[in-house]
Structure 1
């Protein structure tokens, strides 16, 4: 049900994959025809990783640059229904143990941040809008202000839409160009008159600009469009969502 990115003495983190379960293992209520199926999928995941569903915290993602610090009092928010999800929030972070932070993607870039020195863990949902709004940069700035040294941060960029599949018109291209550091990750395809953008590498550049060492950044280059295990909004608008999760043990 889940592919693990991190499983060490400090943290557990991973991404659920599309499969044969209810609604193909969809984890998001807001794209579900049967919310009870999503609830069942989430309960199965919780059991698989050794936590209760009431340990999970989920946001209501709106492609914003908003993030929220999570504490134990927030446990269960958005876990069993959409109405209690954190409103207008696209990134979560905590220093406390036993809180499973979660976000949802289907082509957008998921980012997991951990710091074994401070006990920090975080998840970010960065679609193209989140990237041009610099949600990752803004959260990193806040985390560094709170005492997280960039050299202590470990970053996992999860599977997302590949540059080959992420084709856009001039309006989106201009948003990325305006960042001033994304030109290396874009090209123009003459036959289709479309631009192709590597959102993962743009996010990686944002991490590097925050002085996170390159060797601390891992990228899963699996394309959500091309893999049988991926949910892709670009391929099918009504698709389900992966859940990306991280918890401090």
Structure 2
């Protein structure tokens, strides 16, 4: 059975899918939806078809992008097999499900239910720092949304206790805004621990969204439910699965 995390803050059909209920095996065991992984192509296609069915759309209406940790956003006008290089999608078209893949980065689903405009963003530290969330809001406004009506939910992401980073990382955030120091604490080893979800919430709220929240799930800590790039790296595994998050009107 698929396990789908939802939020009452989003009054449209959506879901942050866990790794449960998929057809993959080995290090990809479960619902690996990453076409860029070394998992079997046909198995990934089965997993994605299960997600499309759960979202009530045909597989061809599960829109996606080729994610590159950018601040680029595409506006989707209908079902398409194209996957442009970008990290967020926006649409006002009914019957299209927007999707993003993550494995520690933030999946962010957004909706202005009154204007019937939705968005989905892949916001890792680089994309968030470079403005992918604000760019998504801009694209939603261009499609008819109003910023103060937009509701945004950050799904399962790596949490601060598991996100150890170095001095250069810390310096990059302080160069952007000296107040960003508040998103860091020190690890027992004296390195920095970064609070990615809090930073994402800060960027969303500072941009003027009507509501923003995080589901509170850590991808690193819960290996039964979530894939994690960092956990895979620490374990010395060759590859890792990708979680999918989706939203539709």
Q: TM-score, normalised by structure 1?
A: 0.88
Q: Who is 2:232 aligned against?
A: 236
Q: Who is 1:45 aligned against?
A: 51
- Retained in 1: the 8 A contact 2:71–2:132? yes
Question: Which runs of structure 2 are paired with 1:106-145 in the superposition (5 Å)?
Answer: 106-144=103-141
Residues 76 and 149 (structure 1 numbering): CA distance in 2 closer, same or farther, change over 3 Å? Answer: closer
Q: Who is 1:188 aligned against?
A: 186
Q: Who is 2:213 aligned against?
A: 218
- Retained in 1: the 8 A contact 2:63–2:99? yes
Moved more, 48-57 or 5-14: 5-14
Query: For 1:160 and 1:124, how far apart are their aligned partners in 2?
Result: 13
- Off by >6 Å, runs of 4+ in structure 1: none
- Retained in 1: the 8 A contact 2:6–2:15? yes
- Retained in 2: the 8 A contact 1:6–1:12? no
Query: For 2:60 and 2:142, how far apart are their aligned partners in 1?
Result: 30
**How far is the alpha carbon of 1:131 from its aligned partner?**
1.3
Unaligned runs of 5+ in 2: 25-29, 234-238
Q: TM-score, normalised by structure 2?
A: 0.88
SS at match of 1:45: helix
How many residue pairs are counted as aligned between the two chains?
Answer: 236
Unaligned runs of 5+ in 1: 78-83
RMSD (Å) for aligned C-alpha atoms: 1.9
- Retained in 1: the 8 A contact 2:220–2:228? yes
SS at match of 1:123: strand
